[in-house]
């Protein structure tokens, strides 16, 4: 079965939430989540957010909507506040902060219950297979536009 309704998390008012369990492979020798693992958690959440709004990486890469496209991380600022440990169940929250032209800024937070563990400000660029910045096709841009916090879209 390939259609698990909760595998990609869920869309909520203001964004997306992805549950993540911490496994041994995510930790360092102290039993605390290794800092690089958080980057993987954030990446999964961004990918699943896009998937749930109807933007699929495989379709972009194949050029289903025109030329071959991809999202590339341009900047990422992380603020580590508290550690996570093995077997913790975390929630990765993703929301769009800004969408302009070929650039998408996202805010991402990882919580354990009500406790904020880490936050990230991420800017991704929409690029062609040649690495040139470009805008999303209108139909895909409209899918993102529905999840903006306000009318900040300037496609």
Which residues are bridge partners to 32 per DSSP? 85
Q: Write phi, then psi, for 142 (nearest 5 degrees).
A: -65, -35
> How many C-beta atoms lie closer than 10 Å to residue 17's C-beta?
19
Tokens of 68: 């071959």
Residue 33, SS3 per DSSP: strand
Which residue among 3, 28, 79, 88 is the active-site one? 28
Cβ atoms < 10 Å from Cβ of 146: 11
φ/ψ of residue 64, rounded to 5 = -55, -30
Burial, 68: exposed, middle or buried (Cβ in 10 Å; 0-12, 13-18, 19+)?
Answer: middle
Residue 45's nearest CA partner among 100, 86, 88, 96 is 96
Is 150 marked active-site? no
Catalytic residue set: 28
């Amino acid at each position: 079965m390939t259609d698990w309704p909760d595998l990609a998390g869920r869309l909520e008012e203001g964004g997306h939430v992805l549950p993540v369990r911490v496994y041994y492979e995510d930790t360092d020798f102290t039993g605390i989540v290794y800092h690089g693992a958080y980057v993987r958690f954030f990446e999964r959440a961004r990918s699943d957010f896009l998937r749930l709004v109807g933007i699929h990486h495989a379709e972009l890469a194949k050029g289903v909507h025109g030329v071959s496209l991809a999202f590339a991380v341009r900047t990422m600022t992380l603020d580590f506040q508290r550690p996570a440990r093995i077997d913790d169940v975390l929630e990765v929250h993703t929301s769009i902060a800004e969408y302009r032209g070929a650039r998408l800024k996202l805010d991402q937070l990882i919580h354990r219950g009500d406790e904020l563990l880490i936050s990230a400000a991420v800017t991704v660029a929409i690029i062609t297979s040649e690495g040139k910045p470009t805008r999303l096709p209108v139909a895909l841009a409209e899918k993102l536009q529905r999840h903006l916090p306000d009318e900040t879209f300037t496609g």
